[in-house]
Amino acid sequence: MRRPALYSSSSRPVQHIDASAATGSDRNESSFSQPASIDAATSAIAASHPRPSSLSRLARRLADHQLYLLWSLVGLLALLLAISFFFPLRSAGLRLTQSDIDAAVLKTLETSPLPSPAARAYDAIIPSVVRVVGLNKSVKGKDGKEDAERSVGTGVVIVDKGIILTNLHVVQGAETIKVTFADGLESIATITGIQAENDLAVLQAHTIPDDLAAATMRSTAELVPGDQVMAVGYPFGIGPSASAGIVSGLQRTFRSPEGKQQMTNLIQFDAAANPGNSGGPLVTMDGAVVGIVTAIYNPNHQRTFVGIGFAVPIESAASAAGMPPF
């Protein structure tokens, strides 16, 4: 059903009109002239409400205009007050100087301190760090065999398809290798490559997270003693843990305690590293990997850190995975 049109009601006063005067007996008759009773009512209303004179209308308009000017002046004064509060007026006009900028930056730094370089480096590398466990079968009574941890170390994802770098001594001889990613996903991994002279192994995880992130690698060509670095891993299986230090030296040589292996061209660093850090990344303060932690110096033949650690440069480590040099 079509909705009837709606009209606004008239503002004119409604007068009582006799139905017989307003409606003709013939429905076909149309009349636009007002009945006499309406004319009389209209005249009476006009007489009781005389139109204002031209002078009074002019006075009212002037009063309204003065009120408008008054409020405009109040608004302008409020605007000027706000500007002077936030931007102090200077004799040369509104001008932002270098000292103003320096003061604003200093105030921001004081009230909202930035994260430390080490914290930024940790945030950058941690999505690529994995826990690596070598498992062997151990006998458990009459119920059969169960997996037992043989070794615990660290790895770092260098390709987002699940390619991981770690130390060869962490996984060598293990019957099963299990990796745990930063988001908690666990996966079996297999060895796809080794570089025995640098104690490196390349792993391929069978299952990977959907949003797996590969670490950024950086050439060691510009690395110098004194540069800040961080070692991230699972010392004694605890972690992920981070320790910060500096590059202590370059092109170092290390011989294993048993004297079975000698490695050269190593990065020496003093960031705390312990058993379990093996295979983990050594990163710069921008979170880029410059080396793979591989050994610690133990003059007392104890498994504790005395301030001297060694890492394989990332150039050698990446070549173990068949990646081109920088």
**Hey, which residues are catalytic here?**
169, 199, 278
Q: Name the helix (H) or strand (E) containing 70.
A: helix 54-86
Alpha-carbon distance of 36 to 107, in angstroms, equals 84
Cis omega (within 30 of 0) on the bond before 240? yes
Q: Which residues of the chain form beta strands (DSSP E)?
A: 129-139, 145-159, 163-167, 176-180, 186-195, 200-205, 228-233, 241-255, 262-269, 281-284, 289-296, 309-313
Are 223 and 247 in contact, with CB atoms under 8 Å apart? yes
Alpha-carbon distance of 256 to 297, in angstroms, equals 9
DSSP 8-state secondary structure symbol assigned to residue 217: B
Work out the number of other CB atoms within 10 angstroms of the CB of residue 9: 6
Alpha-carbon distance of 270 to 8, in angstroms, equals 88
Beta strands 186-195; 309-313: pairing state: unpaired
